[in-house]
Structure 1
Amino acid sequence: MDDLQMLATTLAAPEMSREAVDRGRHRLLNRMRGPVSRRRRPRVLAAMLGLTAAAAAAAVVVTTSGTTAPTATPNSPPAELSSRQILLAAARTAEARPAGSGVYWHVKTIDENKKSTSKPVRGVLETWTRRDGMRWDGWNGRVLTDDGPASPAAFQVAFTKLTSAQLQGLPTTADGLRAWIDDSIKRSKTGRVPLGAERTYVPRTLIELLYEFPAPPRVRAAAYRALAALPDVKSTGVVKGGRGLLINGGTADEQRLVFDPETSLVRSVDTTMGASYHRVTVLAAEWTNTLPKVTPHKTLPPGRG
């Protein structure tokens, strides 16, 4: 390797310590003092000085440009992911998870409700829903029956009641699922859906599809992709339980979602509505073959109405 090649290699290498730089300079000076002809030495020296000046200029460019357009290095911290990147990654994970099987769709949550003029009501809520629509409710460890067998259409998604089979047939693309939810909101028979309610009901329904209903993997993936396409979604970074997202932040109906990026499973959902809020911490959302002992009961527990 001649002198110019050695210098080029040195300049192209990663950042070096001050000692390494001094050793390299010393070696170059020794080579320059060696047995070379009087005619060649000025040319070599000029080349060295020119390359050194060019290296210094390049260092200035890198240093000044780094303040406006930083370049990633092996030692730099990873860039923070956007909400869209986080949700699209969760969609891929959700799509790869097995659908599961069992007799009952079991959801267990810690529910906390607070209305503006009341004290918070907090307890453990459980539901078991059979594929034929029969449903059991549990509250703080007691499994209760309501008023008898439910309709086969036991799953209310947005404003539409679906059977287990219909739930499996929901759209599996983000655009298709969003259009289905929009249509369900428009067709509501309650007459209480105000203009512009999509901003609230669309993300709420998409989140419910991620844990409250036994939606198949491709539908859950579509729900994550539809959330990624919403305009008012912001990442809140790594939080307790996984990744945090803020939806419709600063509005009268604000939602905070936490999910585990390793599994795509929802961990908690907080919904703030003015001075009221509803907090759900998800303990289980899975198929099971076991229904605990049932205690007959005809009225809903406190906080369920």
Structure 2
Amino acid sequence: MNPMDQLRAARPAHLDTPVDARTRAAELSAAMAGPRRDEARRARRTRNARPAWVLGGLATAAAATAVAVTLTGTGGPVPLTTPHAALSAPSSDRPVVRLSAKQVLLAAAESSLKAPATTGAYWYIESEDGSAYEAGDKVRYVVHSTGRGRTWVARSPHGTSWWVSQDLGAKPAPGSEDAWKRDGSPTTWTIDVPAPKADDKGASKRIELDDKAGRPSGNPINVGDKVFDLAGRNVSVAELRSLPATAGALKARLLQGYAGHGTESGESMDADSWLYQVTSGLLSDMPVKPAVRAAAYKVLAGLEGVRSLGEVTDALGREGQGIARAENWSGGDFERQIIIDPATGILLTDQIVAVHPSGAYAWAKPGTATWWHAVVKAEWTDDKPVKVDPPGGEPVKAGSTDSEPAKA
């Protein structure tokens, strides 16, 4: 039985069932719990159109805000947990199929080539992001802060791309409820997190978490026609659509941006870890052609150190095949994990999981997901953005300004 036949046999039947917008919205409401609203606004006002789907070093990711779907080895397998529940093979009477990482990634590449070519005025991304923090005054426990992001990226270089984020509140992580009650059942938390810049070692910043959901906030995200950060460089939709469609050429193109450190921090990063991160980000959120997606999966398959986690469940309860690679940061040893549906070539979730954390992350038990980015929808559409006007106000349908040139 070849890898694709094995994957078809193992694939949950519900993944072949189309999900309508209303069902997706209901699943979103049930699954999310919200990012920091003030940080979210600041994240989108960066100078070079670097959307929050750009992933930097661990310190940056752990303090990242929600938005709108990437070598030092650590040895054996990591005991896995998702942000919301234990990651494990789904309970089923069918036999568990464990493929190698290369088999899974090459199957995803094959599926990507079969995906229909679609078009539209906007590339639409709907996602959930979250972070785990240690909190509590009387007793320490883990709090999850998650949120929803929606992004409309204009295909036209003269269009305005728009991003809307909503803080849906924070809550104790599963398994932390008893400790939270012993702490007095607080509804707000003050958290000290590492400073996002690697050269601020030892520094921290204070964030406030609240269990109440905030109103949507948003703003334009493009600077001219530049709307994505790829490999440390701002690029346009047209540049993404012209990326090379072979693994060797794509790898060489991406490595042009490698400078020995993360794309969003000065923290040292080896080339393969950097390439794993950047390539995963491309697969997660960017409107590349099917052949380029296939090439990206082949780039990942060719990296040393990738391992298969088998069939796992992501933060939104979706089943897929897990792929992991060890990464060493100033905060200890972690794994960058992606969860994909190889039968469709869709990257469901990208997350950072603690292996041997230290320093500011010493509280995280091995297997704890400290940050995650789950893509709910990524597709071309002709539907105009649902803007927020004014920022922090109620969403309104976009008007004729969508065809006007963006202002830097």
Fold match (TM-score > 0.5): yes
1:159 paired with 2:159, answer no
Pairwise CA distance, 1:227: 0.4
**How far did residue 115 of structure 1 move?**
5.4
SS in 1 for 2:258: helix
Aligned to 1:40: none
User: Matches of 2:386 and 2:123 in 1, distance apart?
Assistant: 16
Higher relative contact order, structure no. (Cα contacts within 8 Å, ≥ 6 residues apart): 2
- Name the structure where helix makes up a greater proportion of residues: 1
**Closer, same or farther in 2 for the Cα pair 1:281/1:189, shift >3 Å?**
closer
What is the CA–CA distance in structure 1 between the aligned matches of 2:264 and 2:98, rounded to whole Å? Answer: 43
Equivalent in the alignment of 1:243? 321
- The equivalent of 2:256 in structure 1 is 183
Deviations 1:209-246 (A, max 9, x none): 11211011111111100000111111111223221111
Structure 2 unaligned blocks of 5 or more: 1-94, 136-141, 168-214, 314-318, 365-369, 393-408
* Residue 271 (structure 1) aligned with residue 364 (structure 2): no
4+ runs deviating over 6 angstroms: 187-191
- Where is the strand percentage greater, Structure 1 or Structure 2? 2
Task: Give the corresponding residue for 2:163.
Answer: 137
Cα distance in structure 2, aligned partners of 1:125 and 1:295: 13
* Structure 2 counterpart of 1:99: 117
Contact kept, 8 Å, 2:341 with 2:348, in 1: the verdict is: yes
Q: Residue type matched to 1:94 in 2?
A: S
1:137–1:145 Cα contact (<8 Å) kept = yes
Larger deviation, residues 168-177 vs 131-140: 131-140
Aligned-partner SS, 1:112: strand
Deviation at 1:157, TM superposition (A): 0.6
**2-structure distance, mates of 1:221, 1:122:** 30
Q: Secondary structure at the match of 1:123?
A: strand
Residue of structure 1 aligned with 2:341, choices 260, 263, 269: 260
1:96-152 superposed Cα distances (whole Å, 9 cap, x missing partner): 212311111111111102356795421111111102262211223966442676320
- Which of the residues 205, 217, 223 maps onto 2:296? 223
Q: 1:201/1:134 Cα in 2 relative to 1: closer, same or farther (>3 Å)?
A: farther
* 1:128 has 2:152 as partner: yes
Are the counterparts in 2 of residues 153 and 164 from structure 1 also a CA contact under 8 Å?
yes
Q: CA deviation at 1:256?
A: 1.2
Size of the aligned set, in residue pairs, is: 224
- TM-score, with structure 2 as normaliser: 0.49
Q: Distance in 1 between matches of 2:268 and 2:323?
A: 25
**Structure 2: distance between partners of 1:79 and 1:191:** 37
Q: Kindly, what percent of the aligned residue pairs are identical?
A: 28
Q: Which amino acid is the alignment partner of residue 282 of structure 1?
A: V
Gaps of 5+ in 1: 1-76, 300-305
Match of 1:84 among 79, 98, 102: 102
TM-score (normalizing by structure 1): 0.64
Q: Within 1, Cα distance between the matches of 2:262 and 2:166?
A: 33
Larger Rg: 1
